Chains A and B, each alone.
Chain A
């Protein structure tokens, strides 16, 4: 398992958070961490301490909405939801990320089948 901390790839956490929320549901911080871990096949684990500054940054940029709600565990928590601006940003970041990884792959001579 790879821990993703504040010193990860540039914009790594941002794109993971936006992608996770792009389904449209509202999630609190812990749920986002869990969702990322699950969807990466238990491989990526976002650091708690790195997640919140990223969430606040995205929130204040208007890419996420934040709202205090009661969780299904009957606890108050701040839930985040993607905004239309967030979706646009995600699309842009995905394009960039794809180009980036493709380029990295070419340089490092990684074949698509290696990624399977």
Chain B
């Protein structure tokens, strides 16, 4: 037996469970053999000794099992401990390395932080819109039912009348339940400071349709809807907090509404609930209070019956609508009955743009990751020697990869923490920017889901950018690196090509992102100021609602509004003042007043569905609406027997195409009715009430008079400076007129227009942020990679200089290389961007998708940056001393 054979079995490793089992078996065998020897020495025969030894050992299987259990759990602890130990030592090692090259660590963390900040802001946003937009139970079964001659995109709400709703409810076969909602103005007048609220009249089962239960108290019971029942109300969470300080004892309390009616509070609605739109108080609608078929001021919502598809519901309602149209001729004018999912009605227009944003966001993240990958790659190449030494000293490849991954993860973690903090700030900034422009039910917050998703993204990013260098460690021949000295010319052709490709790729990404975001943001900036037809910048409006009990006749109401306008005009700070029944350039929702369609008639054109506005003389000048022909209203028009009107451009074109409308007349009715004839005295420019992207639609204006007046409307004032500075004057003037009148806060017309535009504003903000981030990342990436590459070739340049090459030729070479990369990148990016813009043009409202200025800016900017990034380090080439470089070798 050679020494080797004798000693080999003694080196028993215990690294695997199999080795452990084998060793335990060997130990027991050895025990038995030793015992046999011992017994034989005592005089037993071989067989007797073996039998005795076996019997003495007893239940060997059980004993071995116990040993194995102990050893295995030890092995597991060893392995975990070893792994944790290696992680700790890798972490310490990485931190030491970061301390020695803080610039790299800082750059990497910043890069990632920028990327994470971006993802945080955008993701929190998308989460608010896409993932959990509706605060209702099983919101996908919730549909809006209504009649509308126009397309749903133009109108947010579809209206119906109460009798229609009642017919739909009794005749349909597809809805679990249907509920109608009507906007009604009301004021709680028994408070120290009376408040005016948007109140909602609801029909039975409205809570079932929405799947909502009160936050406190109870919902309405069927008895509450019966004639003669005690009047009850549900309060919104907001008004409960504001007016009653969140006092739980208000349940059961009686409050005075509109000065006379006593109502009992039976419940408080949950915090986010303001359905259908900015409501703060809900009251049961009793059928005796309901309006006739001609008043389409109700919106109807329903919950689809289980298993009923949208198509089935549509077919059923269409058929019911057709039957009703035959029974009631006035219904025929209103168009088909439509069934629209509530979610899609609110969010359908968002889907395309949001997908665009997601794609662009992905591109930006790609940009951030490519930056990091490059940073890590450059470093790993620089660290080839170190890694080779460690490998030679026995570090397994797995350990080296683990080391690189730990480094990446530390950077990812640091970047992630900084990014989440910055992202939180970014989200707040974003929310301030869009304040009051988005519906209140959209909640944007960093919730647990967002944080969990972020953690995932952070770890994934760490792995993605850690992978490239880790693979380089594995594939690279470490031995070769160790043998070859570090004095090689440059980091090798493969890496140069890779780096050039990376730069080109980044330029391409930057081109796409900057072009697309630039065009969209530009379109937003334009749409904000132009195209609405109203000068929104210097207008402040006060919504007023004259209670019936204080202003019983239309003469009282008209006199109040005229007096208000006159008093405001006499104030020195106010440039102009006027009354209008509906706020200009405001969304047609329940805050700004319902606009019902009015049918007009003249000899040439049978029926035109149009909007109507009541204005005081001087309104067009105040609002900055262009007078195209004829004249504005005069005070004299108010008392004349012949009714006059001003039409907008669109109505003029429809009624009298190609001829002068001034002096012509139309009927404000279905049939020619001499009582309702209006003479056109002027033509004004269109006002786009649906937003800059939506056609204005026909509209006419009539003067404010006792015959036309409504109980609601807006007093509009024009300022020379900041419109909100007029709020105290406006407030005081109205208070002087009627101290009892409850008022909402004055609103600038610009703010109302923003609400109209909230989708555009949302995207402009998101895209604006994308553009800034892309810009930063592209700059860091391009400048970083190119200047690193140039300084990395310092030795090569030194030697070329020593061999007689001129500084100029080297600089030219660097610039030529940069120009090639920039050219390829920009060209590729432009092709993609132009293609993308075709899909996006629907979002672009009024911008020409081929706006040359944006394209020229992006091209010039990126090429300049790339050339500068090469030129700046190349400038130093001239200062290289070849002798010094050669001596370094």
Chain A residues within 8 Å of B, Cβ to Cβ: 28-30, 47-50, 52-53, 55-57, 60, 68-71, 73, 75-78
Contacts and interface: CB of A to CB of B under 8 A. Distances in A.
Given A30-B38, A73-B37, A56 B30 contact: no
B34 A71 contact: yes
Contacts of B60: 48-49
Nearest to B59: A49
B62 A77 contact: no
Contacts of A52: 24, 27-28, 31, 63-64, 66-67
Given A52-B28, A60-B74, A76-B9, A30 B63 contact: no
Among A56, A68, A73, A77, the one with the most B-chain Cβ atoms within 10 Å of its Cβ is A56
Interface in B1-36: 6, 9-12, 23-24, 26-28, 30-31, 33-35
Contact of B63 (A53, A68, A71, A76): A53
Contact of B70 (A28, A29, A60, A77): A60
Interface residues of B, number: 31
A49 B11 CA distance: 25
B88 interface: no
Interface of B: 6, 9-12, 23-24, 26-28, 30-31, 33-35, 37-38, 56-60, 62-64, 66-67, 70-71, 73-74
A30 B38 CA distance: 10
Contacts of B56: 48
A64 to B, nearest CB: 12
A53 B57 CA distance: 13
10 contacts: A48-B31, A48-B57, A49-B57, A49-B60, A52-B24, A53-B63, A53-B70, A56-B66, A68-B9, A71-B34
B12 A68 contact: yes
A73 B70 CA distance: 29
Given A68-B10, A68-B12, A69-B10, A28 B30 contact: yes
B67 A77 contact: no
Nearest to A51: B63
Contact of A30 (B9, B23, B35): B35
Contacts of A56: 24, 66-67, 70-71
Contact of A29 (B23, B31, B58, B59): B31
B26 A76 contact: yes
A74 B67 CA distance: 25
Contact of A75 (B37, B58, B71): B37
Contacts of A29: 27, 31
A35 to B, nearest CB: 13
The list of the 3 closest CB pairs from A to B, nearest first, reads A53-B66, A60-B74, A49-B63
A73 B34 CA distance: 8
Given A47-B58, A53-B63, A53-B67, A78 B30 contact: yes
Nearest to A62: B74
Contacts of B23: 78
Among A30, A48, A69, A78, the one with the most B-chain Cβ atoms within 10 Å of its Cβ is A48
A75 B70 contact: no
B70 A30 contact: no
B537 to A, nearest CB: 81
B30 A75 contact: yes
Nearest to A48: B57
A57 B38 contact: no
Contacts of B24: 52, 56
B70 A50 contact: no
B60 to A, nearest CB: 6
A30 to B, nearest CB: 5
Given A49-B57, A57-B70, A78-B26, 16 more contacts: A28-B31, A29-B27, A30-B34, A30-B38, A47-B58, A48-B31, A49-B60, A50-B63, A52-B24, A56-B70, A56-B71, A70-B10, A73-B37, A77-B27, A78-B23, A78-B27
Contacts of B59: 49
A86 to B, nearest CB: 16
Contacts of B73: 60
Contacts of A71: 34
A50 B74 CA distance: 19
A48 B64 CA distance: 11
B20 to A, nearest CB: 10
Nearest to A29: B31
A49 B58 CA distance: 6
A76 B31 CA distance: 10
Contacts of B34: 28, 30, 71, 73, 75, 77
